[in-house]
Amino acid sequence: MTTRTAPQRNDPTRTWTVADTKARLSEVLRLAEEEGPQRIGVQRAFIVVPERVWQERAHPRKPLGQWLVENFPRGIELELPSRDDDDREIPFADEANR
């Protein structure tokens, strides 16, 4: 891939050199906002995108409770102990008394 000092508009293969990026950072950022992602570097390439684009593409984590409900195994019967039983064993009770 060739590097250009001043990438041409609407050229999907445009690549900024690191030196050009340092010298013209404002232009790189403006083009990222107006025209889309900007590629910097050839051997170690990086892509500059506006934060709003990054946030739109990020996959937000679901709350654990929602994930558990959605991923609960179907067709399996679980035996749940009664919460009314005063004689039920308290897990880790021995650990609390140490």
- Measure the CA angle with vertex 47, ends 45 and 50; round to 5°: 165
| Interatomic CA distance for residues 16 and 23, integer angstroms | 11
Q: How far apart are the first and last CA of the chain?
A: 66
Burial 56-73 (b: 16+ CB within 10 A, else e): eeeeeeeeeeeeeeeeee
Q: To the nearest whole number, what is the mean pLDDT of the chain?
A: 81
Indicate if the pLDDT at residue 12 is higher than 70. no
pLDDT value at position 96?
62
Q: Which residues pair with 47 in a beta bridge?
A: 39
Indicate if the pLDDT at residue 14 is higher than 50. yes
Indicate if the pLDDT at residue 2 is higher than 50. no
pLDDT value at position 6?
52
Q: What is the pLDDT of residues 24-79, one digit of tens each?
A: 999 999 999 999 999 999 899 999 999 988 887 877 778 888 888 888 888 888 78
What's 16's DSSP letter?
Answer: B
| Interatomic CA distance for residues 8 and 10, integer angstroms | 7
